[in-house]
Structure 1
Amino acid sequence: MSGYQWLIVALCAFMNCLDGFDVMAVAFTGPSVTEEFQLTGSQFGLLVSVGLVGMAIGSMLLAPFADLIGRRPLILISLALGTIGMFGAAMAPSAPVMGAFRLVTGIGVGGILASTNVITSEFSNAKNRGLSIGIYTAGYGIGATVASLVAKAAVGGDWRVVFYAGGFGTLLALVVIAFVLPESVAFLEQRRPSGAPARINKTLTRMRMPTVTDTDLDRSAATRKEAERAGAGWLRQRLPPTVLLWITFITIMFGFYFVNSWTPTLLVEEGLSESAAVTAGMAISIGGTVGSVLYGLVARLRTPRVVLIGFSLLAAAMMIVFIVSASTLWLGFGIGVVVGALINGCIAGAYTVGPPLYPANIRSVGMGWALGMGRIGAILSPTVAGMLKDAGASATQLYIGAAMVVAVCALVLVGLRRYDPESGPAAKEALGSAS
């Protein structure tokens, strides 16, 4: 891969930072927001979930417009929505108003994630795709860590500072992307807007790849139309692996968003100071910055699906160890780093395992729907946790329950083996020769 390709991956990781900052901004300010607006556990869980509902809307409803207007314009629109939502939440006078702006932010983030995931894959070669997606996913942990640092500095002060910081960060991303990010080559080939060949060749030259002619584009268009006809009824054709992939995303995102959304609030209620709880939550964010890349590196040596099974089982076990040991801050911090690394690695694993299950002509729609369905788990986890907490469940009980959901992912991945082209004998032979 050329340096330009790695630059595009880095830009996508930067935009994924916004997701991490956004989710953790709510988590780290949870105790202060709950106190100011006098929220119950269920109400706070709903406030978290409304942003995740927005992400689902953005992923499933906004993303298809990328094929009509271009991925770059959609990302710019989504960044504008995210900027409005973050500044609006910072100035909200009440929980309902804050919830409305959280929905707007979520829609923007959902549109960003659906587009950047595809762009990362498109600008990567086959050998480094897993590592590229790992780096892209690591952006979440970086953003979450920045959110934790801002929140820690704001403890005892105004929690709204965290959301103002997120608004300025999203605005910065909007400016940078407007000047640096190119349009997707795949979109330019598909839609052929004015000046498409020149724009395509400019990008290909930067990638150190051969340029194309109008004849090449015409031939590619004819091949693509045949593939689109063959891809009609994609869900019916690939129903079993699709359902298993959806369950994989749902279970992983359930645990992921539980850990990232509820940890500081639960630790405060278990007796830790707000500063100590933010520190423990920050440990999870720090682990997340390396966990995704770690998964990508391991997946270059072993089958990605098998690596994800290991990550999910270890993540479930370490979640339980974390909540039991969190009262000892130094121990909880160390284990929190491990939990963050493992649960973020699971997200990277889901992004990596999914695409090979589909032919190239239906890969984007298959992954787009998997991301959208995964948000069911993301939406359910904070809401269910809030309801159980109001019913008297302890932090330990909630963590054990979430860990069990993550462990279910491993069982689903075992069932996915027969559909995974990278688990067959030919794939193993190729992997062995490559290593």
Structure 2
Amino acid sequence: MKPTDNSVNVQSLLNTAGITGYQWTIYALCFFIVLLDGFDTAMIGYIAPSLVQEWGVSRPALGPVLSAALFGLAAGAISAGPMADRLGRKRVLIGSVLVFGVACLASSHASGIDELTIWRFVTGLGLGAAMPNAVTLTSEYCPESRRSMLTNAMFCGFPLGAALGGFLAAWMIPNFGWRSVLMLGGVAPLVLGVALFFVLPESVRYMVIKRWPVERIRVVLERIAGDMARTAEAFHLQEVTGSEKAASSGIAVVLSRQYRVGSVMLWLAYFMGLVVFYALMNWMPILFKDAGIEPRTATLIAALFPLGGVGAIFFGWLMDRYNANRVIALGYALTAVSIWAIGQAVGNVGGLMTVVFIAGTIMNTAQSSMPALAAAFYPTQGRATGVAWMLGIGRFGGIAGSFLVAELTVRHLSAETIFTVVALPGLVAMVALLIKQLAHPASAANKGAKSSTTIASH
């Protein structure tokens, strides 16, 4: 079916209408989802020293509980992407937020390391399903000229949530015990889930491509574009022609010949980035404590690492104007250098604080820019699956990072050596994105439409 004279292109409408208060509300809700995701994901690293002290757990034995949520994150993301492409972003988002809230609250009552490990896995299932759909929903309400910057700004909630967890843990654990951190991480998502149910809309691009009644689509678009949407008789999308149009599922799009190389390189880059992120987030407090730094100070210094993720807003601005693959590849190259520098500064607390913050800014800026890169790479039919699979498969990098440092500590390697080894995956991520650029040199141009398809009409 071809567009009628009164059919409005949804993306063109978003591009010309500007950003309204309604869209800012959507972005804010998605930001808080990702912030709580970062808080709940990182908190286990902050309470790990307390587990060692209270339960007498050996440090190598911490590997399973530190990585349990990451296994859940991977499973949740891989399954939730295709589910969201079928059922919608909003339903999956609300369900996932409630799951990780209930599971995190239950984990605060764990009586041993095995029970805590199980609840951390269930928490991860919800976390893994929430983040990619928050990214996708944000991306699908953005004007194209500001999509990367706004998506990156929203995704900054993850490192900020991780940093907030560190600052709160440093205050709450001495005063209320480590269980209080988990309780807060459970109650907050339950409150947010209620707000999502009443306020968050479904993705308008999803509604169009799934042929929802035009009246329901118009109600949402009127709050963004007013009369431009009110007078439309139908809505359509402009998407790239080719295999994704004929594909029966988001999985078919992601694995199609047109997107296959780019998909694998996105997975590899994100995997390597999370090797670095979780190796440091889970183990820095312990490594710094072993280096002779007082435990509370070690936790506060470690919390500076994710705080630097706000630099992703600047990278988003660059990605909207220059080659996004090369921008992020440069970020990963600088990540490798800065992580190596942490190991060289361990003996000086003042210098260590500075280097950790700089390294966190660079590393989290590059890593937080990846979801926006993936969201721009895939069409609507496969966007949720594409973003979710990158995040899900990448989570195994987090698992690898947690066990990598556990193994290095067993071998009694110095802090300098450990940080040097952890820096190497940054170089691998850089190479992966350069390969993606070679395989898809015109991918940035493909964000525009090559053909129009009317999807929703009277």
Q: TM-score, normalised by structure 1?
A: 0.89
1:326–1:333 Cα contact (<8 Å) kept? no
Which of 415, 436, 440 aligns to 1:416? It is 436
Q: Residue deviations 1:100-133, cap 9 Å, x none?
A: 1101110011110121111011011111111012
> Which residue matches 1:7?
25
Q: 1:278: Cα distance to partner?
A: 1.0
> Which residue matches 2:179?
160
Q: Residue deviations 1:33-90, cap 9 Å, x none?
A: 1222222233212111110110111101133222343321211111111111111111
CA distance in 2, matches of 1:171, 1:410: 38
Q: Residue deviations 1:320-372, cap 9 Å, x none?
A: 21232133222222222211111111123322333444455434333332222
> Which residue matches 1:432?
none
Residue 42 in 1 paired to residue 63 in 2?
no
* Aligned AA (1:250): F
> Which residue matches 1:430?
none
Which of 272, 279, 284 aligns to 2:305? It is 284
CA distance in 2, matches of 1:86, 1:188: 32
Which of 342, 346, 352 aligns to 2:362? It is 342
Match of 2:143, SS?
coil
Q: In proportion to residue count, which structure has more helix? A: 1
Which of 284, 291, 302 aligns to 1:270? It is 291
Q: Residue deviations 1:277-308, cap 9 Å, x none?
A: 111112113212x2221221333443211211
Match of 2:156, SS?
helix
1:357–1:421 Cα contact (<8 Å) kept? no
Aligned CA distance change for structure 1 residues 224 and 180 (closer, same or farther; 3 Å): farther
Residue 177 in 1 paired to residue 196 in 2?
yes
Q: Which has the higher contact order (CA 8 A, sep 6+)?
A: 2
Q: Residue deviations 1:208-229, cap 9 Å, x none?
A: 1632789625x76999999541
Residue 403 in 1 paired to residue 423 in 2?
yes
CA distance in 2, matches of 1:215, 1:229: 26
Match of 1:39, SS?
coil
CA distance in 1, matches of 2:239, 2:266: 31
> Which residue matches 1:367?
387
Greater mean deviation of Cα atoms: 172-181 or 265-274: 172-181
> Which residue matches 1:111?
129
> Which residue matches 1:389?
409
Match of 1:354, SS?
helix
Which of 328, 337, 348 aligns to 1:317? It is 337
CA distance in 1, matches of 2:283, 2:39: 15
CA distance in 1, matches of 2:328, 2:47: 31
CA distance in 2, matches of 1:112, 1:222: 26
* Aligned AA (2:217): I
1:280–1:333 Cα contact (<8 Å) kept? yes
Greater mean deviation of Cα atoms: 158-167 or 180-189: 180-189
* Aligned AA (1:341): T
Query: Number of residue pairs matched?
Result: 422
Aligned CA distance change for structure 1 residues 30 and 319 (closer, same or farther; 3 Å): same
Q: Residue deviations 1:375-431, cap 9 Å, x none?
A: 12111110222122123233322221110111111122222222334588x79xxxx
* RMSD after superposition: 2.7
CA distance in 1, matches of 2:23, 2:399: 34
CA distance in 1, matches of 2:247, 2:55: 54
Where structure 1 has 5 or more consecutive residues not aligned to the other structure, the ranges are: 428-435
Where structure 2 has 5 or more consecutive residues not aligned to the other structure, the ranges are: 1-17, 447-458
> Which residue matches 1:245?
266
CA distance in 2, matches of 1:360, 1:23: 28
CA distance in 2, matches of 1:228, 1:321: 47
1:303–1:423 Cα contact (<8 Å) kept? no
2:98–2:193 Cα contact (<8 Å) kept? yes
> Which residue matches 2:98?
80
CA distance in 2, matches of 1:20, 1:365: 21
> Which residue matches 1:91?
109
Match of 1:319, SS?
helix
Residue 332 in 1 paired to residue 352 in 2?
yes
* Aligned AA (1:166): G
* Aligned AA (2:265): L
Q: 1:317: Cα distance to partner?
A: 0.9
CA distance in 1, matches of 2:192, 2:402: 28
Aligned CA distance change for structure 1 residues 76 and 36 (closer, same or farther; 3 Å): same
Which of 115, 118, 128 aligns to 2:146? It is 128
CA distance in 1, matches of 2:240, 2:285: 52
CA distance in 2, matches of 1:329, 1:96: 35
Q: TM-score, normalised by structure 2?
A: 0.85
CA distance in 1, matches of 2:229, 2:409: 59
Greater mean deviation of Cα atoms: 368-377 or 76-85: 368-377
Aligned CA distance change for structure 1 residues 199 and 50 (closer, same or farther; 3 Å): same
Q: 1:192: Cα distance to partner?
A: 4.7
Aligned CA distance change for structure 1 residues 128 and 90 (closer, same or farther; 3 Å): same
> Which residue matches 1:431?
none
